């Protein structure tokens, strides 16, 4: 493993390999009405949410290329002395390289410019397009900008929901996080519930559920690539946000930023607390406080026109009371959970020439989860795990003619220090285990997006992964896909097939701990190996008058499916693997343009099943699955629907409404499911001048209470949150 990491470091420094990033390449051809090329046309790309700009000039072939363009929404402006200046909207997605023809009208540069409809409202080259979420979506979705919220995902991404305080997507909860294109690795399964950063620090995010190129895929079920606020949104300005609401909750942040021609910076500090921290096990909210403090920064510095340095860093600390039932409260149970999380990513971005981009990114992630049991617990449990990840990724992206090539490696070294203890109430014999462990993951890939004709895109790649830890495993995972854009209609038909490998967690329990668990709790433990997945997907994207409807049918087969089990009554989740799990379903997303210059709407619908078969093959469990038949996994909810809209009103105000429907999660161990449920959220906001604004939100307006799971073998009993009324005041200032 050390030898492989040295090879990885040398590869990054020599710049011969590459990995995923947040950048894209924008290129195009400028022509006149007879489709003759136009030389010496000036092309300016302007970000719509900040002051970021880039420029280029068309050459003798009428072509221009802009490299290192961050993903987001832009206005592209083209000027020439003999033609009318034109403007177009453009959506840029991560890793894409759209080649677009711009047709200029005869006239003069001084004539009135025009902004026409968006050129591409989706990415027609992707085998499975991601869901893009902007800062406006976050600010206008009820409750989405709270420090503990992931509503910016669950309200827009089909098949995504919060269950036992963890994010689930497409039937699993193994998801990857990337910030500024750099991974924040975590091989532990559902051992933490705190968030890695405040949603108010996000400029935009791309959320994928499948169809990954060979660049991605260490976590199969979802990938969230966050583009943080950069400082280009500010001119030596800051924001002070004060939030308050029911259950004595507060949600406060101060941030500031600015930029010059070479340097941009953004810094924030967040504090929050509540009496409703985790999903309660009863309709009553008892012993359920939570709070946290966080710090985040992103910075970029242009060393030259070809070189840029970028930094993204975060430090956060959270503490939760483990919610009680009435019986636990009377018995005096006072369990708690403390968590710390910090990541620091540094990226050097170098442009070798048009269409050639190198990035080198060393990164570090620190994660700690500490469970503190009490003396009156039936099973007094202590768990204190610290994980540290140090790694490097490098990126070489090449756009050459009909090819958009990425090749690279990514690897990290992991150190775990885990202390685990049990003391059954009946015996009062305490047993502890202390395990310092090391391991790591190295992955290399090559990927090409080949476009032989304007209407056809072929995607193909290969990823090779090696894991060294409690077990040694290697995997070779191919990915292939295609998309066909139907002429004139602009509909996109796509298909995909891919394989994935997910590395297992390092920390396990063994020795005397197992004897106590087996004697007092009927648990057994088996070694954990990596999960291996196979995914098929077919889809159709229909853009019409800037509406976008995306349909997908998918099937995922998983061997050694990662899940987790609750240890007795301790509320500690420990990893396990199921021999085989299949996830089957279809999903749809619908996004509208801005209607009547006021209204935007969105919808996300999923219909899926999550079923397992065979024995539990690894981890700590007392679950006895059927020997020959399929059984439902507790993540299973057949239908999930979210729909919402926001509209601007007179006097600088706006209203946003969301409706959430679920057909019901698994009841106990199934096959019956819990009853269906419907909830609604509402927000109203108003600006008072340029500096002051206020928002009032109501979550679960009807105070509908329903079970998320009951006595599940894997996750225990949980209810949804009761109605919450929150308010927020924001003040923008200069310094």
Tens digit of each residue's pLDDT (9 = 90 or more) over 700-729:
999 999 999 887 656 778 899 999 999 999
pLDDT of residue 70: 83
Full-model pTM:
0.88
> Are 184 and 177 in contact, with CB atoms under 8 Å apart?
yes
Tell me if residue 518 falls in helix, strand or coil: helix
Q: What percent of the chain has pLDDT over 70?
A: 87
pLDDT above 60 (res 58): yes
Expressed in angstroms, the distance from the first to the final Cα of the chain is 50
- Residue 621 confidence class, pLDDT cut points 50, 70, 90: low
Tens digits of residue pLDDT in 129-170: 899 999 999 999 999 999 989 999 999 999 999 988 889 999
378-392 pLDDT, tens per residue?
766 778 889 999 999
Contact criterion met (CB below 8 Å) for 153 and 224: yes
Q: Which residue has the higher pLDDT, 626 or 480?
A: 480
Instruction: With a cut of 90, say whether residue 47 has pLDDT above it.
Output: no
Q: What are phi and psi of 28, to 5 degrees?
A: -170, 175
Q: Quote the pLDDT of residue 594.
A: 85
pLDDT band at 119 (very low <50, low <70, confident <90, very high): very low
Q: What percent of the chain has pLDDT over 90?
A: 53
Q: What is the CA radius of gyration of the chain?
A: 26
Minimum mean pLDDT range among 48-52, 199-203, 318-322: 48-52
User: Which token pair is 607?
Assistant: 């219909």
Q: In the prediction, which pLDDT does 190 show?
A: 66
Q: So what's the pLDDT on residue 502?
A: 92
Whole-number Cα distances in Å, 239 to 86, 146, 267: 35, 15, 11
The larger pLDDT score, comparing residue 8 to residue 689, is at: 689
pLDDT: is 334 or 567 the higher one?
334
Please say whether the dihedral angle defined by the alpha carbons of residues 187, 192, 194 and 199, taken in this order, is positive or negative.
Answer: positive
Q: For the residues 117-128, what does the mean pLDDT come to?
A: 66
- In this prediction, residues 104-115 reach a mean pLDDT of 64
Strand positions, DSSP E, 48-190: 53-57, 63-70, 72-80, 83-92, 99-103, 114-115, 131-134, 160-163, 166-169, 175-179, 182-183
Whether residue 516 is predicted with pLDDT greater than 70 in this model: the reply is no
In the predicted model, what is the mean pLDDT of residues 661-674?
90
Summarize the confidence of residues 549-578 as an average pLDDT.
Answer: 81
Residue 377 has pLDDT above 90, yes or no: no
Output the average pLDDT for the chain. 86
**Does 419 score more than 70 pLDDT?**
yes
Q: For residue 488, what are the contacts with CB-CB under 8 A and spacing of at least 6?
A: none
Q: Which of 83-97, 158-172, 431-445 is most confident?
A: 158-172
Least confident range from 492-501, 542-551, 560-569: namely 560-569
Cis geometry, peptide bond prior to residue 671 (ω within 30 degrees of 0): yes
Residue 191 in this model has a pLDDT that exceeds 60: yes
Q: Give 366's contacts (C-beta < 8 A, 6+ positions apart).
A: 340, 341, 342, 343, 386, 387, 388, 389
pLDDT of residue 118: 46
- pLDDT average, residue stretch 599-622: 87
> Between these two residues, 181 and 420, which has the higher pLDDT value?
181
What integer pLDDT is reported at residue 9 of this predicted model?
40
Report whether pLDDT(302) > 60. yes
Rounded average pLDDT over 511-516: 52
């Amino acid at each position: 493993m050390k030898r492989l990491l040295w090879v990885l470091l040398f590869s990054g420094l020599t710049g011969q390999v590459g990995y995923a990033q947040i950048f894209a390449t924008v290129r195009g051809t400028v022509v006149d009405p007879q489709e003759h090329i136009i030389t010496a046309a000036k092309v300016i790309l302007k970000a719509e949410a900040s002051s970021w700009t880039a420029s280029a000039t068309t050459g003798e072939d009428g072509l221009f290329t802009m490299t290192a363009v961050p993903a987001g929404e832009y206005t592209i402006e083209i000027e020439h002395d003999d033609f009318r200046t034109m403007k177009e909207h453009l959506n840029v997605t991560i890793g894409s390289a759209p080649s677009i023809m711009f047709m200029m009208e005869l006239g003069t540069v001084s004539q009135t410019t025009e902004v026409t409809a968006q050129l591409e409202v989706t990415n027609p080259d992707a085998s499975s397009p991601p869901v893009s979420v902007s800062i406006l979506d976050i600010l206008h979705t009820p409750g989405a900008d709270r420090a503990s919220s992931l509503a910016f995902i669950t309200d827009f991404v089909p098949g995504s929901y919060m269950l036992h305080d963890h994010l689930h997507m497409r039937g699993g909860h193994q998801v990857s996080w990337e910030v500024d294109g750099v991974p924040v690795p975590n091989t532990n399964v559902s051992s933490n519930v705190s968030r890695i950063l405040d949603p108010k620090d996000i400029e935009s995010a791309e959320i994928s559920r499948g169809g990954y190129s060979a660049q991605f895929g260490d976590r199969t079920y979802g990938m969230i690539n966050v583009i943080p606020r950069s400082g280009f949104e500010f001119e030596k300005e800051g924001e002070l946000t004060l939030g308050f609401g029911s259950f004595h909750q507060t949600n406060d942040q101060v941030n500031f930023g600015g930029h010059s021609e070479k340097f941009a910076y953004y810094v924030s500090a967040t504090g929050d607390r509540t009496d409703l921290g985790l999903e309660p096990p009863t309709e009553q909210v008892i012993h359920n406080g939570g709070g946290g403090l966080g710090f985040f920064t992103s910075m970029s510095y242009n060393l030259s026109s070809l070189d840029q340095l970028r930094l993204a860093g975060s430090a956060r600390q959270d503490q939760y009371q483990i919610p009680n039932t009435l019986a636990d409260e009377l018995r005096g149970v006072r369990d708690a959970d403390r968590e710390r999380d910090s990541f620091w990513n540094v990226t050097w971005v170098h442009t070798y020439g048009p269409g050639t981009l190198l990035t080198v990114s060393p990164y570090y992630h620190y994660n700690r989860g500490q469970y503190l049991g009490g003396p009156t617990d039936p099973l007094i449990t202590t768990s204190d795990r610290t994980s540290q990840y140090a790694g490097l990724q490098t990126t070489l992206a090449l756009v050459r003619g009909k090819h958009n090539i990425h090749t690279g490696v990514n690897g990290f070294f992991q150190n775990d220090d885990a202390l685990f203890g049990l003391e059954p109430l009946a015996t009062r014999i305490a047993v502890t285990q202390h395990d310092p462990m090391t391991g790591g993951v190295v992955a290399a890939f090559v990927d090409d997006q080949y476009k032989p004709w304007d209407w056809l895109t072929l995607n193909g790649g290969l990823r090779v992964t090696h894991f060294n830890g409690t077990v040694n495993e290697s995997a070779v995972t191919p990915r292939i896909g295609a998309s066909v854009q139907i002429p004139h209609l602009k509909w996109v038909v796509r298909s995909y097939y891919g394989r994935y490998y997910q590395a297992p967690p390092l920390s396990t329990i063994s020795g005397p701990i197992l004897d106590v668990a087996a004697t007092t709790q009927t648990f057994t433990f088996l070694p954990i190996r990596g999960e291996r997945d196979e995914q098929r997907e077919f889809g159709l994207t229909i853009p019409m008058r800037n509406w976008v409807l995306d349909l997908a049918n998918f099937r995922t087969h998983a061997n050694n499916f990662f899940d987790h089990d609750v240890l007795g009554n301790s509320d500690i989740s420990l990893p396990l693997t199921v021999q085989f799990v299949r996830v089957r379903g279809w999903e749809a997303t619908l996004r509208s343009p801005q209607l009547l210059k006021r209204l935007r709407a969105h919808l996300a619908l999923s219909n899926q099943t999550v079923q397992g078969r065979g024995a539990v093959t690894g981890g700590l469990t007392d679950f006895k699955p059927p020997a020959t038949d399929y059984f439902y996994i507790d993540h299973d909810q057949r239908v999930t629907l979210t729909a919402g809209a926001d509209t601007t009103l007179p006097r600088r105000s706006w209203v946003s409404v969301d409706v959430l429907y679920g057909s019901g999660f698994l009841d106990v161990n199934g096959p019956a499911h819990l009853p269906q449920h419907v909830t609604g959220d509402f927000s109203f906001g108003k600006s008072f001048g340029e500096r002051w604004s206020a928002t009032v939100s109501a979550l679960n307006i009807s105070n509908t209470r329903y079970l998320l799971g009951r006595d599940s073998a894997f996750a225990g009993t949980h209810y949804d949150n009761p109605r919450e009324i929150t308010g927020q005041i924001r003040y923008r200032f200069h310094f």
